[in-house]
Structures are given as structure tokens and as C-alpha cells.
Structure 1
Amino acid sequence: MTKKLLIFDFDGTLIDSVPDLASVANIMLTQLGKPTYPIHTIKEWVGNGARALVERALSGSIEVDNSLSIAEIEAAERLFYNAYEAHDTSKTTSYPDVDQGLRQLKDAGFTLALVTNKPIRFVPKILESLGWTPLFSMVLGGDSLPVKKPDPAPLLHVCETLNFKPAQAIMIGDSINDISAGKQAGIDTVGLSYGYNYGKDIRDSNPNQTFDHFAELLNWLLK
């Protein structure tokens, strides 16, 4: 494998955080006196960051209600953040083979980076709880820069900061946001089919490679 920089998405790629995100979204909705939703519905709203999840929850749909005011959205977002900070995130777990796999990749000489649309304030706690903090050379959240995925800027920022050319990197993720960002950055992309992609097959986004299990990705990278 000539590629040496692996840029990973977080939610839906390395961790299954939907159980906790759904709980927190429903806490927010309950506080607002609005209807709550089952986990399988909320799962399809995850992937564009906290603000988008809040907007979709308020709308009860992946299509955001245009009548929502900025003040209403921001008030709900504050409730969401407060609930998430107070929430026990023990239901957020790594997918099969990810924990050992990340360590194998690090030991094999790959440089690992994390680029997520999750607000950065929530990322270190999860990384620490999983014991992954030392594994990543760089971590960006959805609000670390002025833009987030699918904009290519976070990926290009990682490459520049860690002194890699885009051609030396791979973007690994579960949604169209990851694949689109990678393509626009001139970075090869890998799609993982088990995550959160708004109910759509990641293969429809035409990544360079697609795998159904993290173990298959590992075998491909380490061959």
C-alpha cells in the first residue's frame, strides 16, 4: 500500500453513536414538547453535524422545514448540546474489528487522522473512553474550520498540516459527505457500507473501494 495517510470519518465509520444521539435528540424534543422518534428514523438524520440533526429532528424529516426560525433552531441546539454533555455515552461503541484494526494500522506505519462533522467539543471524551487518543496524529471536528465535509477543505488541511500530498492519502467513511469531500480534494476514497448514509447504499457515491466490514478494509490496507 503506497498510501500512508488514512483519514477516517468517526460516526458510522469507527463508532456506532446512533443510540446515544437518538436518546439525546429525543431528550431535546421532549423538553420542547415535541414528538419523539424511533432510533431507526433518527439514524437517517445523522451525518451532517449537530445543527443538521437538530433541524431534522425539529422538522421530523430529513427534509428541513423552511419555516423554522434561526432563534428556534439555536435554542434547540443549545438544549441538544447540554443534554449531550450530561448524557452517559456508554452506548457509543466501536464497530467490530475497529479497535484492534486501528492499532494494527498505526503499528504498520500508517499515519491516522480523524475528520468528523461532530462538534469538536464532544470528540476528545469519546476518543479517551475508547483509548484511541494516541492513535490519531490530527483530529478535526465539524466546527474546527469554517467549513465541514462535504467541503474538501478539512481533508486538504490535514494533508498540508501532516505534510502529505492528497495522492498519498485515503478518505475512509460511510456517507456521501466523506466520498464527495475526498473526490473534491483529489484523495482516493473508501466507502464502508454498514454506517449512516441517509438510508442509501454508499456504492451509489462511487468510492474507489467499498467494503462491508472493517476487517475487509484492514486486509486490503495491510496486504
Structure 2
Amino acid sequence: MNKARLPIHLVQFDLDGTLIDSLPQLWQAINIMRSQLGFSEVSAQTVQLWIGNGADILVQRALADAQQTPPKASLIKEGRVLFADAYQSVAHQEIRLFPGVIETLNALKAAGLTLALVTNKPFRFVPDILAATQLVPFFSHALGGDSLAQKKPDPAPLLHTCQALNILPSHSIMVGDSENDVLAAKAAGMQVAGLTYGYNYGKSIATSQPDWVLDDIRGLIELVKNPHPLNKN
């Protein structure tokens, strides 16, 4: 049977760039870190191009841009600590959900699907963000980027979630906005929908060849009811 025809029982979501627009908070935290290290501030548009591989890589990119050379390990370590402290201070300020998120999650839950969250964001930030956005009741399981030894694009977090919820990967779909989400899903043997509006280092999510490309997260509502190959972008 074609995997795209298999019924979907579990929907795993990325967080940043998929459910929430976290760019304002990440932009603030990066500029706080850069200022504390004596570097100039950068625009939100610049920071957006650095998002997608987790906080460690975000900090490395911000420091490499500041110096125009690969940063030393000692500077990366210092910057990572400063960034974490800065992000902690702004992470819950005016968090915005992308359009259609609540409508989509409500519809999927009402249809009897199990929902999970798999993000590369350090887990210590996740509970408060979910509480601030009133997303807690939707998810049966949540993993952060440091919950396991591996993070996306490694398939381990997705497979761990399937195992924890006793649902086969072939009956799961990953929903995200970056190449990491697509690579992780493909390696895990599950279906994947790529959203066009998030953070993917300035590249089109279509270049990663997810099973479906969606401009609006509400497209998931019909997709999971009828995951037919003809719906593929």
C-alpha cells in the first residue's frame, strides 16, 4: 500500500514557525546577546534566516555574522549562555499563533486524532509557551531539543513519540516548516507536510520534497481525513 494512502492517527507538530511566530522573541534575544558581547544589532529579517536548526546553531550563525569569521568555541559558549538568559526574559512576551492554528488543532482533536509536539527548542521553555498560548490541552506528548540525545533532523524524536503513544510511524504525519522536519520524517518512515510560511533559512520548503506543501495549516484538516496521493503538491 502506498504510504500516502495509510490512515493518519498521530500528528506531530513542530513549534517555532509552525504553530507560533517566535521571530520577535528570538530577534530580541539575539540582539541582547550581540550587544552584551559588543556587537551591533541586526534586523528581524536577518535573524529569520538563521532560525531552524535549534538555538546552538542560531547563536553560532549570529556570532559568525558579527565577526565575519567562524567564532571560537569559547565565544560560542559565552554567547549561548547569554542568549539563553536573554531568551528566558522575553520568550513569553506577546507570543503570536499563526492564523488557523487553534481551528486546526480543535478540528483534529474532534476527529479523534492524537497530537504531539516535537521541537528543537530546549524543553525548559516549552511548558510556559504552551501555557501562554493555551495549547497545553491539545498535546498528548511533547519533546524538546534536549529531551533526547538526538534532535531533528535525526528521526529519533519522532520515533520516540510514536513509541510513547503506541502508534506506528506509518500512521503518523509530521508537520513543520523547515528542512529538518522533512528530513526527520522521511528518515522515520512517516508522512510529512511542509508549511510555506515559517523559517527555512530563506529556502522554499518545497525543495525538501515533503509529501504535501501547505500555505495554510488549515489544509491539514482535510488532508488527514483523506491522505490521498492526489492531494500531494
Tell me the TM-score normalised to structure 2 length.
Answer: 0.90
Deviation at 1:65, TM superposition (A): 6.8
* Structure-2 residue corresponding to 1:150: 153
- Does the alignment pair 1:90 with 2:93? yes
**2:58 aligned with 1:53, yes or no?**
yes
Code of the residue aligned with 1:189 in structure 2: it is V
C-alpha distance in 2 between matches for 1:196 and 1:87: 19
TM-score of the aligned structures, taking structure 1 as reference length: 0.94
Where structure 1 has 5 or more consecutive residues not aligned to the other structure, the ranges are none
1:45-194 superposed matches below 5 A? 45-60=50-65, 67-87=70-90, 89-194=92-197
In the TM superposition, what is the alpha-carbon distance from 1:66 to its structure 2 partner?
6.6
Change (3 A) 1:88 1:154: closer
Secondary structure of the 2:132 match is helix
Worse-superposed segment, 137-146 or 70-79: 70-79
- Taking every aligned residue pair, what percent have the same amino acid on both sides? 47
Query: What is the identity, as a one-letter code, of the residue corresponding to 1:25?
Result: I
Partner SS for 1:76? helix
CA RMSD of aligned residues (A): 1.6
CA 1:67–1:220 in structure 2 vs 1: closer, same or farther (change >3 Å)?
A: closer
Secondary structure at 2:93's aligned position in 1? helix
Superposed displacement of residue 222, structure 1: 4.2
Shift, 1:108, TM fit: 1.3
Task: Out of 85-94 and 1-10, give the one that drifted further.
Answer: 85-94
**Distance in 1, Cα, partners of 2:18 & 2:180:** 12
- C-alpha distance in 1, partners of 2:78/2:196? 34
Q: Distance in 2 between matches of 1:100 and 1:152?
A: 28
Cα deviation for residue 88 of structure 1 reads: 5.6
- Looking at structure 1, the residues matched to 68 and 168 of structure 2 have their Cα atoms a distance apart, in angstroms, of 41
Q: Aligned AA for 1:217?
A: L
Which range is displaced more, 27-36 or 64-73? Answer: 64-73
Could you tell me which amino acid in structure 1 is paired with residue 79 of structure 2? A
Counterpart pick for 1:10 among 12, 15, 19: 15
The answer as to whether partners of 2:176 and 2:182 remain within 8 angstroms in 1 is: yes
Distance apart, 1:36 and its partner CA = 1.5
Q: Distance in 2 between matches of 1:100 and 1:121?
A: 26
Aligned partners of 1:199, 1:91: CA distance in 2, in Å? 24
Match of 2:27 in 1: 22
